[in-house]
Structure 1
C-alpha cells in the first residue's frame, strides 16, 4: 500500500473565508475600534448608496438606533410614505391633463359597444342618483301564462301573487267546492301556476 494513495490527491482543505474577508476589509469606522469593518450600514436619508463600514458588534449597535426619518416632521413622513406607493414618480388624476382641472364625462362621448354601459339600469341607486324611470319587468311566456291563470298582470308583486294564490286555493279546494270537477281542475291549474312563479323567483 502506498503511503499517499491517489484518492488523497482530490481532497482539499476548505480555507476560512471569513479570515480572507477580514484580511481585506477596512478598519471599523466606530470610534476607537480596531476590528475589521466587514459589515455595511446605510449612512442615512439623502445619502442613499453610501455606507459606513462596521464590525459585527458595532453594526448591530448602529442598526438599533438607526432612523431613516430622524429630523423630519410627521407631515413630511406621511408625504414620503404616500409618494413611495408610486415609487416617487409624479401621478395625475384619471382623465385630467395639464389644461383641465376636472375629468371629462366620458359617458357623453361613448358610442357603439361602449354606449351599452350608458343604458345599464341602477334599480338600487348604487352609482348615484338615477333619473331614468324604472323599466317594467317583462314576463317570460310561461310566467305570463301563470300570471294570467291567477288573474294578474306583469306588474304584480310577490305580495300580490301570494295573496291571490291563497284566495284561489281557498275558493277551489276540494273540501270547499262540494265535489265540483271543474273547480278541481281549476285548483290544479292554480297550484301549477304558483309553482312556476315561485321557481322563477317572483314570489
Structure 2
C-alpha cells in the first residue's frame, strides 16, 4: 500500500521586510495632520478639525474649530440665552420675532440699465402711455397725431439704445456723446468700486459697437 500523500509547499520561508524607522514613526502617529489641516480646538484632541462653531452670542463671527464628535458635543451644550435674565430673554425673543437685523433697499444701482433707462424715459415722458397728459408731457391723442413718425429699429438696435439710456430717435452725434459720457462714468477708476458699473460699461461698449455696425452712430 502506497504511503499517504504528503503536501510539500514549494515556498516555506516567506519573509517580510521590516519597516524603516521613518515608516514606523508615520504608522505610529495615526493622528498626524495632513498639509492644510488644523487640529481640533477641544483640549487634548489631536484629530483634524472639520466643523466650526461660534464662540459666543456676542462673537458670532469668531469660531472654534472642532472635529465632528466634539462639534456635536459643543452644539448639544450650546445655550444662546446663557447668563441672561428672564426679562432679557423675553426682550431678545421679541426683537428676533420683529426682525432685529439691518435691512437694505431693493433698489437697483444708479448705473444699472433699468434704473437709468426708466429715469431718463420718465423725465421725458417716454416709455409709458399718458393719454390724459397727467404728467404734463404733452401727451394725448392730439400730440400723438402731430408727433413725427419714428424710424423703424430692430430689437437689437432698440436694446442697444436702451443700454445707452437713449430714445429711439437719438441721432449719431447724441449717441457718440452719451457713449463717451457713460464710459467715463462707469470706468473702474471712477465708479467707486461699484461692480454693477463694470457690467454697465461692458453693455455700453457692446451697444455702441452694434450701433456703429448698424450705421446709426
Structure 1 and Structure 2 fold alike (TM over 0.5): no
In which range does the TM-score fall when normalised by the shorter chain? 0.3 to 0.5
Q: Normalised by the size of structure 2, how large is the TM-score?
A: 0.31
Name which structure has the greater RCO, CA cutoff 8 Å, separation 6+: 2
Q: Normalised by the size of structure 1, how large is the TM-score?
A: 0.33
